[in-house]
């Protein structure tokens, strides 16, 4: 049995590559999907598809519409969600995606460092599982196959 897992979180570093590599090393039958990982493409997609917009607010809204379409489609088709909160970047998109997962009754693994225990306490309480590392998140997925 193969699962599809949505990887929610910031797109400024390569944490998803680490998840994919480690899952492959463990031979987990998992397909990973998520947001557009090319930050420039994500920011520009509205104008790329709809044409030049009359200002930055409209450019952002056009991109947001298309990125939200992608997120909704891929998240709804996923079997589970891993939402990673890190130390370095603002995590608004991660929080939104985790909330959508909960709203859609998708099993949610929340990954957050010890320093974010307090600010994420309510979200952690709603997640199925809260862990502190990618390895622990993958341990949870591996356990499903035992």
Q: pTM for the complete prediction?
A: 0.94
| CB-based contacts of 52, cutoff 8 Å, min separation 6 | none
Q: 81-126 pLDDT, tens per residue?
A: 999 998 877 788 899 999 999 999 999 999 999 999 999 999 999 9
What is the 3-state composition of the chain as percent helix, strand, coil, each rounded to the nearest 5?
Answer: 55, 15, 30
Mind listing the pLDDT tens digit for each residue in 39-78?
999 999 999 999 999 999 999 999 999 999 999 999 999 9
Tell me the two tokens of residue 5.
């897992």
| CB-CB contact of 63 with 43 (8 Å) | yes
Specify the pLDDT at position 61.
Answer: 97
Q: List the structure tokens of 78.
A: 């996923």
Rg over CA atoms, the chain? 16
Q: Are 5 and 32 in contact (CB under 8 A)?
A: yes
């Amino acid at each position: 049995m193969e699962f599809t897992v949505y990887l929610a979180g910031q797109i400024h570093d390569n944490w998803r590559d680490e998840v994919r590599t480690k899952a492959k090393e463990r031979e987990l039958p998992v397909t990973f999907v998520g947001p557009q990982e090319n930050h420039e493409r994500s920011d520009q997609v509205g104008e790329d598809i709809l044409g030049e917009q009359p200002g930055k607010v409209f450019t952002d809204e056009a991109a947001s519409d298309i990125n939200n379409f992608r997120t909704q489609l891929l998240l709804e088709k996923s079997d589970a969600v891993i939402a990673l909160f890190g130390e370095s970047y603002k995590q608004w998109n991660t929080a939104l995606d985790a909330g959508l997962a909960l709203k859609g009754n998708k099993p949610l693994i929340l990954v957050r460092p010890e320093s974010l225990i307090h600010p994420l306490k309510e979200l952690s309480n709603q997640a199925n599982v809260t862990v502190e590392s990618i390895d622990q998140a993958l341990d949870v997925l591996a356990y499903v196959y035992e």
